[in-house]
């Protein structure tokens, strides 16, 4: 089984943002992590990448369930996580990881 390796908190801290019928987006992280673990307090649509904003076409995730996402390669610019509610407002939590 592969283990998830959290990155240094000083460089890649966990981030939190609230979302409603309007998408909430985390502050950005620098390029480098392979992935990010995301969990939300209510069902939400989530997207990960450079300058992204969640829509109802983004990936739906269930509430209170940590879900790993791959961080897209992109251009090397800072990236973020964005979420918008499925039915109820909530909070998104995200922590960059490397997978080994």
Residues 51-62: tens digit of each pLDDT = 999 999 999 999
pLDDT score at 1: 40
Average pLDDT (32-49) is 97
| Class of the domain covering 4-99 | mainly beta
Give residue-wise pLDDT tens across range 14-34. 999 999 999 999 999 999 999
What pLDDT, on a 0 to 100 scale, did the predictor assign at position 13? Answer: 94
At 60-78, the pLDDT tens digits run: 999 999 999 999 988 999 9
Give residue 10's pLDDT band: very low, low, confident or very high (50, 70, 90): confident
pTM over 0.85: yes
Domain range annotation of the chain:
4-99
- Overall average pLDDT of the 1-26 stretch: 83
Instruction: Transcribe the chain into DSSP letters.
Output: -PPEEEPPTTTS--EEEEESSS-EEPPPB-S--SEEEEEESS-EEEEEETT----TTSEEE-TT--EEEEPP-TTS--BEEEEEESSS-EEEEEEEEEE-
């Amino acid at each position: 089984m592969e283990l998830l390796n959290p990155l240094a908190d000083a460089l890649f801290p966990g981030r939190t943002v609230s979302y409603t019928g309007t998408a909430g987006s985390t502050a950005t992280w620098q390029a480098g992590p392979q992935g990010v673990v995301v969990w939300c307090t209510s069902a939400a649509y989530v997207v990960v990448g450079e300058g992204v904003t969640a829509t109802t076409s983004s990936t739906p995730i269930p509430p209170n369930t940590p879900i790993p996402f791959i961080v897209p390669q992109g251009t090397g610019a800072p990236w973020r996580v964005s979420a918008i509610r499925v039915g109820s407002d909530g909070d998104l939590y995200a922590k960059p990881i490397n997978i080994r």
